[in-house]
Amino acid sequence: MILVDLFEVASLLPAEWKKECASVTRELEQASTDDERDRLLKDHSDLWREVKEKLSEASHGKCWYCESKNTRSDNAVDHYRPKGKVAEDANHSGYWWLAFDYQNYRYACTYCNSRRRHAESGSAGGKQDHFPLAVGSFRAYGPNDSVDCEEPLLLDPCSVLDVSIVWYDEEGKLALNTSMVLTDPLAMSRIDSSRVILHLDHPYTVRERKRIYLKIISLCKRADRIYKSILMGNPDLRIEYKEQLAELAQFMTRSAEYSAVARCAVRGFREASLTAKILCEAPL
């Protein structure tokens, strides 16, 4: 998970589209029954589908939650706060007033967004209408309640604090960035809830993350050997070393699939590898 900048998203969305969303939101606020609101949500659902490609553009085509590209999958516009109902609260009618607010949209792959079960491992997940909060947290029930007072347990790719607590270990699994644990007392609960509900440790994803992690360590070791040869009197290898650094940097750029995994691998290896240390210092 890497940060998705909502200011960038806002800059990509057409002004006319925003006006239409504001108009439908006013209609929703004036509706007097849940049925009337449900009808408005259904009648105008094209509005959020219309901007799916813009949301995808903001993340280089990657799912905002898991960084998968899944180019053959029909990704969706997820409502971070569910629009129609909340699985954890039977008395909640959903965060309908945010249904047409782009700040509540998250571009999500099918695995993160919809219920899926991996037959072989039994692992299951998918966000659907889930939006758990910390025990005792305030929950917003209408447009006059501030969602900023809520303590969500699902990690938000649009929050700097949330993406900073995410780590990936050498097995390719989601973990807690222990250096950030003091910034959020709920950090571990949030990692665990997100792992299950967003299905972030789906076996396919874990396997791919592990492959990238191992590849990074291998490339760093190779680059270190080349650097050592340069120091021992082989200056001709400087070009090769630069090429090796460039290849490693490709894995870490924002557009690369699972770039956060590559960054964790490099950061975890920086004490043992000069190449990893250089990559950590480089503003990629």
- Longest Cα–Cα distance of the chain, Å, equals 80
* Contact (CB, 8 A) for 161 and 109: no
Q: Select from 13-21, 109-117, 223-231, 272-280 the region that touches Zn ion (CB under 5 A).
A: 109-117
At which residue do the structure tokens 């990657």 appear?
62
Q: How far is the CB of 112 from Zn ion (least distance, A)?
A: 3
Please tell me the count of residues contacting Zn ion according to CB under 5 A. 5
Q: How far is the CB of 100 from Zn ion (least distance, A)?
A: 23
* Contact (CB, 8 A) for 83 and 99: yes
For β-strands 116-117 and 105-108, DSSP reports them as: unpaired
Query: What phi, psi does 117 have (nearest 5°)?
Result: -130, 130
Q: Which is nearer to Zn ion, 185 or 204 (CB)?
A: 204
149 contact partners, CB below 8 Å, separation of at least 6: 138, 140
Residue from 28, 51, 63, 154 in contact with Zn ion (CB under 5 A):
63
Q: Which is nearer to Zn ion, 63 or 174 (CB)?
A: 63
Q: Does 112 bind Zn ion (CB under 5 A)?
A: yes
Q: How far is the CB of 254 from Zn ion (least distance, A)?
A: 16
Q: Which is nearer to Zn ion, 65 or 269 (CB)?
A: 65
Q: How far is the CB of 123 from Zn ion (least distance, A)?
A: 14
Query: What phi, psi does 176 have (nearest 5°)?
Result: -95, 135
Q: Does 65 bind Zn ion (CB under 5 A)?
A: yes
Q: How far is the CB of 269 from Zn ion (least distance, A)?
A: 26
Q: Which is nearer to Zn ion, 112 or 154 (CB)?
A: 112
Q: Determine how many CB atoms are found less than 10 A away from the CB of residue 255.
A: 11
Q: Which is nearer to Zn ion, 44 or 81 (CB)?
A: 81
Q: Which is nearer to Zn ion, 63 or 252 (CB)?
A: 63
Q: Does 155 bind Zn ion (CB under 5 A)?
A: no
* Contact (CB, 8 A) for 84 and 150: no
Q: How far is the CB of 62 from Zn ion (least distance, A)?
A: 8
Please say whether the dihedral angle defined by the alpha carbons of residues 223, 229, 233 and 239, taken in this order, is positive or negative: negative
Residue from 109, 154, 226, 252 in contact with Zn ion (CB under 5 A):
109
Query: What phi, psi does 107 have (nearest 5°)?
Result: -75, 120
Q: Which H/E stretch holds residue 174? A: strand 174-176
Which positions lie near Zn ion, rule CB under 5 A? 63, 65-66, 109, 112
